[in-house]
Amino acid sequence: MTNSNLRDLVKFFETTGRLKRTPRSGWVEVGIQKPESVADHTFRTSVLCMICSDLEDLDELKLLRMALVHDLPEAILGDLTPSRKTIGSKEEENVAMNQILSLLPKEQREKCMTDWNEYQEGKTREAKAVRQLEKLEMALQAKEYEEAGLTRQSLKRFIESADKAVVWPQLRILLSYILEERQQ
Question: Given pLDDT bands bounded at 50, 70 and 90, which one contains residue 56?
Answer: confident
pLDDT at residue 1 is higher than 80? no
Those residues whose C-beta lies under 8 Å from the C-beta of residue 141, and which sit 6 or more positions away, are 27, 36, 41, 44, 158
Structural domains of the chain, with CATH: 3-183 (1.10.3210.10)
Q: Taking a C-beta distance cutoff of 8 angstroms, is the pair 24, 38 a contact?
A: yes
What is the pLDDT at residue 64? Answer: 99
Q: Express each pLDDT in 77-90 by its tens digit.
A: 999 777 666 656 88
Q: Express each pLDDT in 4-16 by its tens digit.
A: 899 999 999 999 9
Q: Express each pLDDT in 98-157 by its tens digit.
A: 999 999 999 999 999 999 999 999 999 999 999 999 999 999 999 999 999 989 999 999
